[in-house]
Structure 1
Protein backbone atom coordinates (compact mmCIF):
# COMPACT_ATOMS: atom_id res chain seq x y z
CA UNK A 1 0.00 0.00 0.00
CA UNK A 2 1.28 3.45 -0.91
CA UNK A 3 2.37 5.70 1.95
CA UNK A 4 3.08 9.43 2.16
CA UNK A 5 6.54 10.47 3.36
CA UNK A 6 7.93 13.92 4.15
CA UNK A 7 11.69 14.23 3.67
CA UNK A 8 13.65 17.35 4.51
CA UNK A 9 16.94 17.95 2.73
CA UNK A 10 15.42 16.10 -0.22
CA UNK A 11 17.20 17.98 -3.01
CA UNK A 12 20.53 16.18 -2.70
CA UNK A 13 22.60 13.56 -0.89
CA UNK A 14 20.91 11.16 1.52
CA UNK A 15 17.57 12.96 1.30
CA UNK A 16 17.38 12.70 -2.49
CA UNK A 17 18.53 9.09 -2.47
CA UNK A 18 15.80 8.24 0.05
CA UNK A 19 13.15 10.13 -1.90
CA UNK A 20 14.14 8.35 -5.11
CA UNK A 21 14.05 4.95 -3.40
CA UNK A 22 10.60 5.50 -1.92
CA UNK A 23 9.16 6.79 -5.19
CA UNK A 24 10.57 3.73 -6.95
CA UNK A 25 8.67 1.62 -4.41
CA UNK A 26 5.41 3.35 -5.29
CA UNK A 27 5.12 5.79 -2.41
CA UNK A 28 4.35 9.51 -2.41
CA UNK A 29 7.16 11.79 -1.23
CA UNK A 30 6.81 15.43 -0.23
CA UNK A 31 10.30 16.85 -0.48
CA UNK A 32 11.48 19.88 1.48
CA UNK A 33 14.64 21.88 0.86
CA UNK A 34 15.83 25.41 0.22
CA UNK A 35 14.92 24.89 -3.43
CA UNK A 36 14.55 22.15 -6.02
CA UNK A 37 11.87 20.03 -4.35
CA UNK A 38 8.13 20.24 -3.61
CA UNK A 39 8.38 22.76 -0.78
CA UNK A 40 10.95 25.54 -0.50
CA UNK A 41 11.71 26.26 3.15
CA UNK A 42 14.60 27.64 5.16
CA UNK A 43 14.74 25.51 8.30
CA UNK A 44 17.30 27.80 9.90
CA UNK A 45 14.50 30.24 10.77
CA UNK A 46 11.31 29.98 12.82
CA UNK A 47 9.33 31.45 9.92
CA UNK A 48 10.75 28.90 7.51
CA UNK A 49 9.87 26.03 9.83
CA UNK A 50 6.32 27.30 10.28
CA UNK A 51 5.82 27.76 6.54
CA UNK A 52 7.11 24.23 5.96
CA UNK A 53 4.58 22.74 8.36
CA UNK A 54 1.76 24.71 6.79
CA UNK A 55 2.79 23.73 3.27
CA UNK A 56 3.08 20.04 4.17
CA UNK A 57 -0.34 20.16 5.81
CA UNK A 58 -1.87 21.67 2.67
CA UNK A 59 -0.09 19.32 0.27
CA UNK A 60 -0.89 16.19 2.29
CA UNK A 61 -4.44 17.24 3.16
CA UNK A 62 -3.59 16.88 6.81
CA UNK A 63 -2.33 13.30 6.94
CA UNK A 64 1.13 11.79 6.41
CA UNK A 65 2.60 8.39 7.23
CA UNK A 66 6.23 9.23 8.02
CA UNK A 67 8.64 12.08 8.63
CA UNK A 68 12.32 11.83 7.76
CA UNK A 69 14.06 14.86 9.30
CA UNK A 70 17.22 14.68 7.25
CA UNK A 71 18.11 18.31 6.44
CA UNK A 72 21.46 19.41 7.81
CA UNK A 73 24.61 21.44 7.33
CA UNK A 74 28.22 20.45 7.94
CA UNK A 75 29.74 23.92 7.94
CA UNK A 76 31.58 25.27 11.01
CA UNK A 77 29.02 28.07 11.37
CA UNK A 78 26.16 29.19 13.58
CA UNK A 79 23.76 28.32 10.75
CA UNK A 80 24.58 24.66 11.38
CA UNK A 81 23.26 25.09 14.92
CA UNK A 82 19.97 26.45 13.61
CA UNK A 83 19.37 23.75 10.99
CA UNK A 84 20.84 20.60 12.52
CA UNK A 85 19.15 20.83 15.88
CA UNK A 86 16.37 23.39 16.01
CA UNK A 87 15.30 22.76 12.40
CA UNK A 88 15.22 19.00 12.93
CA UNK A 89 13.31 19.20 16.22
CA UNK A 90 10.83 21.68 14.75
CA UNK A 91 10.28 19.34 11.80
CA UNK A 92 9.57 16.37 14.03
CA UNK A 93 7.39 18.25 16.50
CA UNK A 94 5.64 20.37 13.90
CA UNK A 95 4.67 17.45 11.67
CA UNK A 96 3.83 15.02 14.47
CA UNK A 97 0.12 15.99 14.51
CA UNK A 98 -0.14 15.05 10.83
CA UNK A 99 0.95 11.50 11.69
CA UNK A 100 -2.17 10.96 13.78
CA UNK A 101 -4.26 9.82 10.84
CA UNK A 102 -1.83 7.14 9.69
CA UNK A 103 -2.34 3.47 10.59
CA UNK A 104 1.46 3.10 10.83
CA UNK A 105 3.07 6.47 11.68
CA UNK A 106 6.87 6.69 11.74
CA UNK A 107 9.53 9.35 12.41
CA UNK A 108 13.27 9.28 11.78
CA UNK A 109 16.06 11.85 12.02
CA UNK A 110 19.55 11.89 10.55
CA UNK A 111 22.23 12.27 13.22
CA UNK A 112 25.91 11.39 12.55
CA UNK A 113 28.81 9.34 13.81
CA UNK A 114 30.35 12.75 14.57
CA UNK A 115 28.12 12.69 17.65
CA UNK A 116 30.75 10.35 19.14
CA UNK A 117 33.39 13.08 19.26
CA UNK A 118 33.80 15.37 22.31
CA UNK A 119 31.29 18.24 22.08
CA UNK A 120 31.42 21.86 23.08
CA UNK A 121 29.72 21.46 26.44
CA UNK A 122 28.39 25.02 26.58
CA UNK A 123 26.71 24.67 23.20
CA UNK A 124 25.38 21.22 24.05
CA UNK A 125 23.76 22.51 27.24
CA UNK A 126 22.10 25.39 25.39
CA UNK A 127 20.78 23.10 22.67
CA UNK A 128 19.26 20.63 25.09
CA UNK A 129 17.71 23.48 27.05
CA UNK A 130 15.98 24.63 23.86
CA UNK A 131 17.64 28.05 24.10
CA UNK A 132 17.97 28.93 20.42
CA UNK A 133 19.18 32.55 20.88
CA UNK A 134 21.79 31.37 23.37
CA UNK A 135 22.86 28.44 21.19
CA UNK A 136 23.19 30.66 18.13
CA UNK A 137 25.29 33.13 20.11
CA UNK A 138 27.56 30.32 21.31
CA UNK A 139 27.73 28.98 17.76
CA UNK A 140 28.81 32.40 16.54
CA UNK A 141 31.57 32.45 19.18
CA UNK A 142 32.84 29.05 18.04
CA UNK A 143 32.62 30.10 14.40
CA UNK A 144 34.65 33.24 15.09
CA UNK A 145 37.33 31.21 16.85
CA UNK A 146 37.77 29.12 13.70
CA UNK A 147 39.84 25.97 13.26
CA UNK A 148 39.27 23.01 15.54
CA UNK A 149 37.07 25.11 17.81
CA UNK A 150 34.61 25.93 15.03
CA UNK A 151 34.65 22.30 13.94
CA UNK A 152 33.07 21.34 17.27
CA UNK A 153 29.76 22.80 16.07
CA UNK A 154 28.69 19.97 13.76
CA UNK A 155 29.32 17.06 16.12
CA UNK A 156 27.77 18.93 19.03
CA UNK A 157 24.53 19.56 17.12
CA UNK A 158 24.32 15.91 16.14
CA UNK A 159 24.98 14.74 19.70
CA UNK A 160 22.22 17.02 20.92
CA UNK A 161 19.83 15.67 18.29
CA UNK A 162 20.64 12.08 19.27
CA UNK A 163 19.98 12.90 22.91
CA UNK A 164 16.70 14.59 22.01
CA UNK A 165 15.61 11.42 20.23
CA UNK A 166 16.55 9.28 23.23
CA UNK A 167 14.77 11.58 25.69
CA UNK A 168 11.51 11.87 23.73
CA UNK A 169 11.03 8.57 21.91
CA UNK A 170 9.44 6.75 24.86
CA UNK A 171 7.18 9.66 25.81
CA UNK A 172 3.37 9.68 25.60
CA UNK A 173 3.57 12.00 22.60
CA UNK A 174 5.64 9.55 20.57
CA UNK A 175 5.65 5.93 21.78
CA UNK A 176 2.40 6.49 23.62
CA UNK A 177 0.81 7.62 20.37
CA UNK A 178 2.16 4.58 18.53
CA UNK A 179 4.90 6.50 16.68
CA UNK A 180 8.36 4.90 16.58
CA UNK A 181 10.93 7.72 16.78
CA UNK A 182 14.51 6.81 15.88
CA UNK A 183 17.62 8.13 14.13
CA UNK A 184 20.43 7.02 11.88
CA UNK A 185 24.05 8.04 12.41
CA UNK A 186 25.96 7.77 9.12
CA UNK A 187 29.69 7.70 8.72
CA UNK A 188 31.32 9.39 5.73
CA UNK A 189 28.90 9.34 2.80
CA UNK A 190 29.60 10.68 -0.69
CA UNK A 191 27.33 13.75 -0.90
CA UNK A 192 27.70 17.39 -1.95
CA UNK A 193 28.08 18.18 1.75
CA UNK A 194 31.18 15.97 2.07
CA UNK A 195 32.75 16.84 -1.29
CA UNK A 196 35.85 18.37 0.32
CA UNK A 197 36.50 15.10 2.17
CA UNK A 198 35.74 12.61 -0.59
CA UNK A 199 36.72 14.24 -3.89
CA UNK A 200 40.29 12.95 -4.10
CA UNK A 201 42.20 9.88 -2.98
CA UNK A 202 44.28 12.06 -0.66
CA UNK A 203 41.19 13.58 0.92
CA UNK A 204 39.60 10.18 1.42
CA UNK A 205 42.71 8.81 3.07
CA UNK A 206 42.84 11.81 5.40
CA UNK A 207 39.20 11.58 6.47
CA UNK A 208 39.48 7.83 7.09
CA UNK A 209 42.32 8.55 9.50
CA UNK A 210 39.82 10.63 11.49
CA UNK A 211 36.77 8.43 10.88
CA UNK A 212 37.75 4.72 10.94
CA UNK A 213 35.44 2.75 8.63
CA UNK A 214 36.92 -0.76 8.35
CA UNK A 215 33.81 -2.25 6.71
CA UNK A 216 33.95 -1.18 3.04
CA UNK A 217 34.97 2.41 3.78
CA UNK A 218 33.21 5.48 2.41
CA UNK A 219 29.82 4.73 0.86
CA UNK A 220 26.97 6.10 -1.22
CA UNK A 221 23.75 7.81 -0.04
CA UNK A 222 21.63 4.93 -1.30
CA UNK A 223 23.04 2.71 1.46
CA UNK A 224 21.64 5.04 4.10
CA UNK A 225 18.40 5.36 2.15
CA UNK A 226 17.71 1.63 2.52
CA UNK A 227 17.97 1.94 6.31
CA UNK A 228 15.87 5.10 6.46
CA UNK A 229 13.29 3.44 4.24
CA UNK A 230 12.93 0.53 6.66
CA UNK A 231 12.84 2.71 9.77
CA UNK A 232 10.05 4.78 8.24
CA UNK A 233 8.12 1.74 7.00
CA UNK A 234 5.17 -0.03 8.58
CA UNK A 235 7.43 -3.05 9.23
CA UNK A 236 9.26 -1.10 11.93
CA UNK A 237 6.70 -1.32 14.70
CA UNK A 238 8.85 -1.69 17.83
CA UNK A 239 12.20 0.11 17.46
CA UNK A 240 12.05 3.02 19.90
CA UNK A 241 14.64 5.70 20.63
CA UNK A 242 17.47 4.00 18.79
CA UNK A 243 20.34 5.81 17.09
CA UNK A 244 21.58 3.32 14.53
CA UNK A 245 25.17 3.80 13.41
CA UNK A 246 25.58 3.02 9.72
CA UNK A 247 29.24 3.92 9.68
CA UNK A 248 31.38 1.05 8.45
CA UNK A 249 32.41 0.28 12.03
CA UNK A 250 33.33 3.72 13.43
CA UNK A 251 31.12 3.30 16.48
CA UNK A 252 32.57 -0.14 17.24
CA UNK A 253 36.15 1.12 16.84
CA UNK A 254 35.70 4.33 18.84
CA UNK A 255 33.44 3.14 21.65
CA UNK A 256 34.12 -0.57 21.76
CA UNK A 257 32.06 -2.14 24.55
CA UNK A 258 31.62 1.11 26.46
CA UNK A 259 27.89 1.21 25.68
CA UNK A 260 27.43 -1.92 27.79
Structure 2
Protein backbone atom coordinates (compact mmCIF):
# COMPACT_ATOMS: atom_id res chain seq x y z
CA UNK A 1 0.00 0.00 0.00
CA UNK A 2 1.40 3.37 -1.02
CA UNK A 3 1.93 5.79 1.84
CA UNK A 4 2.76 9.51 1.93
CA UNK A 5 5.78 10.57 3.94
CA UNK A 6 7.12 14.00 4.84
CA UNK A 7 10.88 14.15 5.29
CA UNK A 8 12.71 17.23 6.55
CA UNK A 9 16.37 17.54 5.65
CA UNK A 10 15.57 15.62 2.47
CA UNK A 11 18.24 17.24 0.29
CA UNK A 12 21.25 15.53 1.87
CA UNK A 13 22.57 12.96 4.33
CA UNK A 14 20.14 10.78 6.26
CA UNK A 15 17.17 12.73 4.95
CA UNK A 16 18.09 12.14 1.32
CA UNK A 17 18.82 8.47 1.94
CA UNK A 18 15.45 8.06 3.68
CA UNK A 19 13.57 9.79 0.88
CA UNK A 20 15.30 7.62 -1.72
CA UNK A 21 14.67 4.41 0.22
CA UNK A 22 10.97 5.14 0.72
CA UNK A 23 10.63 6.28 -2.89
CA UNK A 24 12.22 3.06 -4.15
CA UNK A 25 9.66 1.14 -2.11
CA UNK A 26 6.90 2.86 -4.08
CA UNK A 27 5.84 5.44 -1.52
CA UNK A 28 5.24 9.13 -2.08
CA UNK A 29 7.66 11.49 -0.37
CA UNK A 30 7.37 15.21 0.27
CA UNK A 31 10.83 16.62 0.88
CA UNK A 32 11.45 19.67 3.06
CA UNK A 33 14.76 21.53 3.09
CA UNK A 34 16.46 24.87 2.51
CA UNK A 35 16.77 24.06 -1.20
CA UNK A 36 16.29 21.24 -3.70
CA UNK A 37 13.07 20.12 -2.03
CA UNK A 38 9.31 20.10 -2.57
CA UNK A 39 8.91 22.57 0.28
CA UNK A 40 11.76 25.03 0.78
CA UNK A 41 11.82 26.56 4.25
CA UNK A 42 14.27 27.63 6.93
CA UNK A 43 13.34 25.78 10.12
CA UNK A 44 15.15 28.32 12.28
CA UNK A 45 12.27 30.71 11.47
CA UNK A 46 8.87 30.36 13.16
CA UNK A 47 7.08 31.80 10.11
CA UNK A 48 8.71 29.23 7.85
CA UNK A 49 7.71 26.43 10.21
CA UNK A 50 4.08 27.51 9.91
CA UNK A 51 4.37 27.84 6.14
CA UNK A 52 5.79 24.32 5.95
CA UNK A 53 2.62 22.98 7.56
CA UNK A 54 0.42 24.84 5.11
CA UNK A 55 2.39 23.77 2.04
CA UNK A 56 2.65 20.16 3.14
CA UNK A 57 -1.10 20.16 3.70
CA UNK A 58 -1.68 21.39 0.16
CA UNK A 59 0.76 18.93 -1.43
CA UNK A 60 -0.48 15.94 0.54
CA UNK A 61 -4.16 16.60 0.08
CA UNK A 62 -4.51 16.94 3.81
CA UNK A 63 -3.38 13.43 4.79
CA UNK A 64 0.12 12.32 5.81
CA UNK A 65 1.01 8.76 6.83
CA UNK A 66 4.47 9.38 8.23
CA UNK A 67 6.71 12.24 9.31
CA UNK A 68 10.49 11.95 9.52
CA UNK A 69 11.91 15.01 11.28
CA UNK A 70 15.52 14.74 10.19
CA UNK A 71 16.67 18.29 9.42
CA UNK A 72 19.44 19.47 11.71
CA UNK A 73 22.75 21.20 12.18
CA UNK A 74 25.94 20.06 13.85
CA UNK A 75 27.68 23.36 14.38
CA UNK A 76 28.66 25.37 17.49
CA UNK A 77 26.16 28.13 16.71
CA UNK A 78 22.82 29.22 18.11
CA UNK A 79 20.99 28.24 14.92
CA UNK A 80 21.70 24.62 15.83
CA UNK A 81 19.39 24.96 18.84
CA UNK A 82 16.70 26.56 16.70
CA UNK A 83 16.69 23.81 14.06
CA UNK A 84 17.51 20.70 16.05
CA UNK A 85 15.02 21.24 18.83
CA UNK A 86 12.43 23.89 18.01
CA UNK A 87 12.34 23.11 14.30
CA UNK A 88 11.94 19.41 14.99
CA UNK A 89 9.19 19.88 17.57
CA UNK A 90 7.38 22.32 15.27
CA UNK A 91 7.56 19.74 12.49
CA UNK A 92 6.09 16.95 14.60
CA UNK A 93 3.42 19.05 16.28
CA UNK A 94 2.61 21.09 13.19
CA UNK A 95 2.02 18.03 11.03
CA UNK A 96 0.19 15.98 13.67
CA UNK A 97 -3.25 17.14 12.40
CA UNK A 98 -2.37 15.64 9.00
CA UNK A 99 -1.21 12.41 10.64
CA UNK A 100 -4.51 12.10 12.50
CA UNK A 101 -6.27 11.59 9.17
CA UNK A 102 -4.12 8.55 8.29
CA UNK A 103 -5.25 4.99 8.98
CA UNK A 104 -1.75 4.13 10.24
CA UNK A 105 0.14 7.30 11.23
CA UNK A 106 3.78 7.17 12.29
CA UNK A 107 6.40 9.75 13.29
CA UNK A 108 10.13 9.66 13.96
CA UNK A 109 12.92 12.13 14.66
CA UNK A 110 16.71 12.02 14.57
CA UNK A 111 18.46 12.52 17.89
CA UNK A 112 22.14 11.58 18.25
CA UNK A 113 24.65 9.63 20.28
CA UNK A 114 25.73 13.13 21.38
CA UNK A 115 22.65 13.16 23.61
CA UNK A 116 24.61 11.12 26.18
CA UNK A 117 27.67 13.38 26.01
CA UNK A 118 28.24 16.51 28.09
CA UNK A 119 25.50 19.10 27.72
CA UNK A 120 24.42 22.45 29.14
CA UNK A 121 21.65 21.92 31.69
CA UNK A 122 20.35 25.48 31.45
CA UNK A 123 19.94 25.18 27.69
CA UNK A 124 18.27 21.78 27.94
CA UNK A 125 15.85 23.08 30.58
CA UNK A 126 14.87 26.16 28.58
CA UNK A 127 14.26 24.04 25.50
CA UNK A 128 12.04 21.60 27.37
CA UNK A 129 10.18 24.58 28.82
CA UNK A 130 9.42 25.65 25.23
CA UNK A 131 11.14 29.01 25.72
CA UNK A 132 12.84 29.61 22.39
CA UNK A 133 14.00 33.21 23.08
CA UNK A 134 15.67 32.12 26.34
CA UNK A 135 17.19 29.10 24.62
CA UNK A 136 18.68 31.21 21.85
CA UNK A 137 20.10 33.68 24.36
CA UNK A 138 21.76 30.82 26.21
CA UNK A 139 23.02 29.31 22.96
CA UNK A 140 24.43 32.70 21.92
CA UNK A 141 26.33 32.85 25.22
CA UNK A 142 27.76 29.37 24.68
CA UNK A 143 28.69 30.25 21.12
CA UNK A 144 30.62 33.30 22.33
CA UNK A 145 32.56 31.18 24.82
CA UNK A 146 33.62 28.82 22.06
CA UNK A 147 35.41 25.50 22.46
CA UNK A 148 33.64 22.63 24.18
CA UNK A 149 30.99 24.95 25.61
CA UNK A 150 29.93 25.95 22.10
CA UNK A 151 29.71 22.26 21.14
CA UNK A 152 27.28 21.83 24.02
CA UNK A 153 24.69 23.60 21.87
CA UNK A 154 24.51 20.51 19.67
CA UNK A 155 24.57 17.89 22.41
CA UNK A 156 22.03 19.87 24.45
CA UNK A 157 19.65 20.12 21.51
CA UNK A 158 19.77 16.37 20.98
CA UNK A 159 19.40 15.59 24.69
CA UNK A 160 16.37 17.86 24.93
CA UNK A 161 14.85 16.24 21.84
CA UNK A 162 15.38 12.74 23.24
CA UNK A 163 13.74 13.76 26.51
CA UNK A 164 10.81 15.36 24.64
CA UNK A 165 10.28 12.11 22.75
CA UNK A 166 10.26 10.12 26.00
CA UNK A 167 7.84 12.54 27.67
CA UNK A 168 5.52 13.06 24.75
CA UNK A 169 5.17 9.70 23.01
CA UNK A 170 2.97 8.03 25.68
CA UNK A 171 0.56 10.96 25.94
CA UNK A 172 -3.03 11.07 24.78
CA UNK A 173 -2.09 13.35 21.87
CA UNK A 174 0.28 10.75 20.41
CA UNK A 175 -0.05 7.21 21.75
CA UNK A 176 -3.67 7.88 22.65
CA UNK A 177 -4.30 8.92 19.06
CA UNK A 178 -2.61 5.82 17.68
CA UNK A 179 0.58 7.59 16.54
CA UNK A 180 3.85 5.89 17.47
CA UNK A 181 6.58 8.52 17.81
CA UNK A 182 10.20 7.51 18.34
CA UNK A 183 13.72 8.66 17.54
CA UNK A 184 16.99 7.21 16.34
CA UNK A 185 20.38 8.16 17.75
CA UNK A 186 23.11 7.72 15.12
CA UNK A 187 26.83 7.91 15.79
CA UNK A 188 29.27 8.94 13.03
CA UNK A 189 27.58 8.98 9.64
CA UNK A 190 29.67 9.10 6.46
CA UNK A 191 28.70 12.37 4.78
CA UNK A 192 30.69 15.08 2.97
CA UNK A 193 31.06 16.75 6.38
CA UNK A 194 32.87 13.74 7.86
CA UNK A 195 34.68 12.57 4.72
CA UNK A 196 37.86 14.45 5.58
CA UNK A 197 37.94 12.96 9.09
CA UNK A 198 38.03 9.39 7.79
CA UNK A 199 40.13 10.01 4.67
CA UNK A 200 43.40 8.89 6.32
CA UNK A 201 44.29 6.06 8.73
CA UNK A 202 45.35 8.68 11.28
CA UNK A 203 42.08 10.54 10.99
CA UNK A 204 40.01 7.39 11.28
CA UNK A 205 42.04 6.26 14.31
CA UNK A 206 41.50 9.60 16.02
CA UNK A 207 37.78 9.50 15.33
CA UNK A 208 37.54 5.92 16.57
CA UNK A 209 39.20 6.94 19.83
CA UNK A 210 36.77 9.82 20.27
CA UNK A 211 33.66 7.90 19.13
CA UNK A 212 34.25 4.14 19.47
CA UNK A 213 32.02 2.14 17.11
CA UNK A 214 33.27 -1.45 17.44
CA UNK A 215 30.68 -2.87 15.05
CA UNK A 216 31.77 -1.84 11.53
CA UNK A 217 32.76 1.75 12.42
CA UNK A 218 31.22 4.86 10.81
CA UNK A 219 28.12 4.14 8.76
CA UNK A 220 26.52 5.18 5.50
CA UNK A 221 23.35 7.31 5.75
CA UNK A 222 21.25 4.44 4.38
CA UNK A 223 21.85 2.48 7.61
CA UNK A 224 19.94 5.13 9.55
CA UNK A 225 17.41 5.39 6.74
CA UNK A 226 16.57 1.69 6.98
CA UNK A 227 15.76 2.02 10.67
CA UNK A 228 13.68 5.14 10.09
CA UNK A 229 11.83 3.38 7.30
CA UNK A 230 10.77 0.62 9.68
CA UNK A 231 9.79 3.07 12.43
CA UNK A 232 7.57 4.88 9.93
CA UNK A 233 6.02 1.73 8.52
CA UNK A 234 2.77 -0.01 9.36
CA UNK A 235 4.61 -2.93 10.99
CA UNK A 236 5.65 -0.64 13.84
CA UNK A 237 2.54 -0.92 15.98
CA UNK A 238 3.92 -0.78 19.53
CA UNK A 239 7.33 0.92 19.70
CA UNK A 240 6.59 4.05 21.72
CA UNK A 241 8.90 6.75 23.02
CA UNK A 242 12.10 4.89 22.22
CA UNK A 243 15.42 6.46 21.30
CA UNK A 244 17.10 3.69 19.31
CA UNK A 245 20.88 3.95 19.17
CA UNK A 246 22.17 2.94 15.74
CA UNK A 247 25.79 3.58 16.60
CA UNK A 248 28.00 0.56 16.05
CA UNK A 249 28.11 -0.02 19.79
CA UNK A 250 29.01 3.48 21.02
CA UNK A 251 26.22 3.59 23.60
CA UNK A 252 27.08 0.12 24.93
CA UNK A 253 30.77 1.05 25.21
CA UNK A 254 30.02 4.41 26.83
CA UNK A 255 27.23 3.54 29.26
CA UNK A 256 27.70 -0.18 29.64
CA UNK A 257 24.96 -1.86 31.67
CA UNK A 258 24.01 1.28 33.60
CA UNK A 259 20.92 1.46 31.36
CA UNK A 260 18.88 -1.33 29.83
Q: How far 1:196 sits from its partner (Å)?
A: 4.9
CA distance in 2 between partners of 1:195 and 1:52 (Å): 31
How far apart are the structure 1 equivalents of 2:193 and 2:74?
7
Q: CA deviation at 1:149?
A: 1.1
Tell me, which stretches of 5 or more residues in structure 2 are unaligned?
none
Give, in whole Å, the separation in 2 of the partners of 1:223 and 1:190. Answer: 10
**Once the two structures are superposed, what CA deviation does each residue of 1:84-143 show, in whole Å capped at 9, x if it has no partner?**
000000000000000111111000000000001021111111111111000001101111
For residue 140 of structure 1, what is the aligned residue in structure 2?
140
* Counterpart residue number, 1:89: 89
Match of 1:48, SS state, is: helix
Q: Which runs of 5+ in 1 are unaligned?
A: none
Matches within 5 A, 1:147-186: 147-186=147-186
How is 1:213-228 mapped onto 2 (pairs within 5 angstroms)?
Answer: 213-228=213-228
Task: Provide the TM-score with structure 1 as the length reference.
Answer: 0.98
- How far apart are the structure 1 equivalents of 2:34 and 2:97? 23
How many residues were matched structurally?
Answer: 260
User: What is the aligned-residue RMSD (CA, Å)?
Assistant: 1.0
The match for 1:71 is: 71
Deviation at 1:148, TM superposition (A): 1.1
Q: How far is the alpha carbon of 1:207 from its aligned partner?
A: 1.8
CA deviations 1:158-217 (Å, max 9, x no partner) are 000000000000000000000000000001001234345344433322222111100000
Answering whether residue 16 of structure 2 is matched by residue 16 of structure 1, we say: yes
1:211 aligned residue: 211
Is 1:124–1:160's contact at 8 Å kept on the other side of the alignment? yes
Find the counterpart in structure 2 of residue 255 from structure 1.
255
How far 1:259 moved relative to its partner? 1.1
Q: Distance in 2 between matches of 1:250 and 1:145?
A: 28
Does structure 2 conserve the Cα–Cα contact (< 8 Å) formed by 1:12 and 1:192?
no
